[in-house]
Structure 1
Amino acid sequence: MTGLRPVDAATALAYRRSLYRAGGISVRVGQRPVPDGPGVPGWWRRGDVVFVSAANPGGRRRPDGWNRRRMRALAGCLAGCERHEGEGRLGQWAEPLLAVRMPLARGRVIARRFGQNAVLLVRGGGLARLVFLGGWG
């Protein structure tokens, strides 16, 4: 049992409007990743890249220290995976995340373990897709 509940329409819209940055790229839902500058390796063009966080589970704000501890725990679950630190941001709201090269199925399991509503998927450098874990609506 994940304890996840469907997110409301306003929260889903916030996820879709957010800018996700990690490993020298920026991406928005429905768009392809864009390098933040020249010379950024094309690491995101190979396989599945899942943007996942352990911060603010269920979209509820938590203290910064708590979020840092959860992000360290998340990193520990990803040993052996290529990963890049970053953040998701919309206006003044920002939270840390990791962009991780791993199959979506594994990303979903890990995100559920950390109480997340959704992950962002970039498959083979294509369009970024928001994947809700508990549904929405």
Structure 2
Amino acid sequence: MAGILPPTAKINVAYRQSIYQAGSVVSQIGHYPKGIPRHLNKSILVMLSAYNPGGRLKPLGWNMRMMQKLEQYLYHYEYFTGTGSLKEISEPLFMVNIPVSKAILLARKFRQNAIVVIRSQRRSALVFLA
């Protein structure tokens, strides 16, 4: 898919070192998530964004408009706002109670490189889309 790049070793490490937080949930790739609300214990949660498509920096206003557009697609689903952070860098994201297949379609629509899949009592997983 145009705009989605295969992950480099550096990008892979950055995703894995990032801390993902939305609502009461906090996790890192390969770690068990903390703070999943009881009513979502059996759900599959996906963290996705519309920021900086394909890992390419975009102006703040552009990124904010894309996040608003992504949020319009989420009105059918329960979702929470959050961030993905690595050191001093942070980007907004949504954590959505959505089937992974639908999350992948949305992430591809917004030219994202990856999503984070979170389940109670399972390690958080990174799914690259390239």
Of all paired residues, the percent bearing the same amino acid is: 38
Unmatched runs of 5 consecutive residues or more in structure 1: none
Amino acid at match of 2:107: A
Could you tell me which runs of 5 or more consecutive residues in structure 2 were left unpaired when the two chains were aligned.
none
Give the Cα–Cα distance (whole angstroms) in 2 for the partners of residues 83 and 21 of structure 1.
12
User: Matches of 2:27 and 2:95 in 1, distance apart?
Assistant: 11
Q: CA deviation at 1:65?
A: 1.2
Look up the match of 2:106. 110
Tell me which residue corresponds to 2:17: 17
- Paired with 1:122 and 1:18, the residues of 2 have a C-alpha distance of 14
* SS of the residue 2:37 aligns to: coil
Pairwise CA distance, 1:125: 4.5
Is the contact made by 2:114 and 2:129 (CA closer than 8 Å) also made in structure 1? yes
- Give the whole-Å Cα distance in 1 for the aligned partners of 2:129 and 2:105: 9
Does 2:22 correspond to 1:26? no
**Which one of 83, 86, 106 corresponds to residue 90 of structure 1?**
86
Aligned residue pairs: how many? 130
- The answer to whether structure 1 residue 65 and structure 2 residue 61 are counterparts is yes
Deviations 1:9-58 (A, max 9, x none): 101110010000001121000111112xxxx7334422210000000111
Return the offset for 1:3.
3.4
Tell me the equivalent position of 1:45: 41
- Give the structure-2-normalised TM-score: 0.93
The corresponding residue for 1:131 is: 127
Distance in 2 of aligned mates of 1:43 and 1:20: 20
CA deviation profile, 1:43-89 (whole Å, cap 9, x unmatched): 44222100000001111221111111100000001111000000000
- How large is the RMSD of aligned CA atoms in angstroms? 1.5
